[in-house]
């Protein structure tokens, strides 16, 4: 299952169930799980620990050292879960010691052609990075979030769970969970990602509660502090609203709201 033109370091761990195609390079410190497929011309550097059933398309570069001028060859890591799809020319960098040492990719993640994930990022389960998405260092993309094509995301930003960022949108602040963010002229939050939530099985009542919370946050003419106080005063609205409130409270860069 290993093509004769592929080069594997003797220290790499590659199970017999893996397929390694033409002209792939697997370096020292790389550990692959069962049933991974490297189609061709894939480069994986270590230390990288990669789970099972992952597919890597041509010319992607995985576990390459971080693009950080302070990096001096320290041992840092890339961690990847299971059932991920990494398309053509994607670059995934290892972490830095000052950022915790590791870049982490979850499970069932799709990272499409020419996308970049910088050092010390965390990409949650079922997230999608569409073609050319550029994620700077120390960014967290939470579960089920979609980062649209050609979107640059600033360092230390958080992309909330189940959110959707339209193509070409520049992200410099945190994106609210469940939100749609897009740039026609200004980067703004334009309501709820209701179609995405319906596709993921959210009930109408669950979506209604989130929609109400967004109305309070975006359309009630209350500032963020006042809006959070109002939502808390309304009583227990469920785990979705609790997550939304917690996300805003923990934001260090502020969140994108309506202009």
The continuous run of DSSP H or E covering 239 comes out as helix 239-249
Residue in 233, 252, 234, 232 with CA at minimum distance from that of residue 244: 232
Q: Which residues contact 114 (CB under 8 A, 6 or more apart)?
A: 88, 89, 90, 131, 132
Q: CA 164, CA 191: separation in Å to the nearest integer? A: 10
Indicate if 45 belongs to the active site.
no
Q: CA 79, CA 47: separation in Å to the nearest integer? A: 9
- Exactly one of 82, 120, 174, 240 is catalytic; which is it? 120
- Exactly one of 41, 45, 116, 119 is catalytic; which is it? 119
Indicate if 53 belongs to the active site.
no
Are 176 and 244 in contact by the 8 Å Cβ rule? The answer is yes
Q: Where are the alpha helices (DSSP H) in the chain?
A: 194-199, 204-219, 224-233, 239-249
- Exactly one of 29, 132, 137, 160 is catalytic; which is it? 137
Indicate if 120 belongs to the active site.
yes
Residue 20, phi then psi, degrees to nearest 5? -120, 110
Which residues are tagged catalytic?
Answer: 119-120, 137
């Amino acid at each position: 299952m290993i093509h004769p033109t592929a080069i594997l370091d003797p220290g790499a761990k590659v199970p017999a169930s893996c397929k390694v195609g033409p002209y792939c390079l697997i370096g020292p410190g790389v550990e692959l799980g069962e049933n991974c497929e490297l189609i061709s011309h894939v480069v994986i550097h270590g230390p990288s620990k990669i789970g099972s059933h992952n597919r890597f398309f041509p010319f992607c570069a995985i576990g390459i050292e971080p693009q950080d001028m302070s990096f001096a060859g320290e041992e840092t890591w890339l961690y990847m879960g299971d059932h991920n799809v990494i398309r053509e020319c994607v670059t995934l960098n290892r972490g830095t010691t000052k950022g915790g040492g590791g870049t982490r990719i979850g499970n069932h993640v799709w990272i499409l052609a020419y996308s970049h994930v910088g050092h010390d990022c965390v990409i949650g389960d079922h997230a999608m990075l569409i073609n050319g998405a550029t994620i700077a260092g120390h960014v967290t993309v939470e579960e089920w979030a979609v980062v649209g094509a050609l979107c640059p995301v600033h360092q230390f930003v958080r992309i909330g769970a189940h959110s959707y960022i339209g193509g070409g949108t520049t992200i410099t602040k945190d994106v609210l969970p469940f939100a749609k963010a897009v740039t026609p002229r200004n980067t703004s939050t334009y309501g709820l990602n209701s179609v995405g939530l319906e596709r993921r099985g959210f009930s109408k009542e669950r979506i209604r509660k989130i929609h109400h919370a967004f109305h309070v946050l975006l359309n009630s003419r209350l500032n963020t502090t006042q809006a959070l106080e109002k939502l808390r005063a309304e009583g227990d609205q469920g785990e979705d609203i609790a997550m939304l409130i917690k996300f805003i409270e923990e934001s260090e860069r502020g969140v994108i709201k309506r202009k």
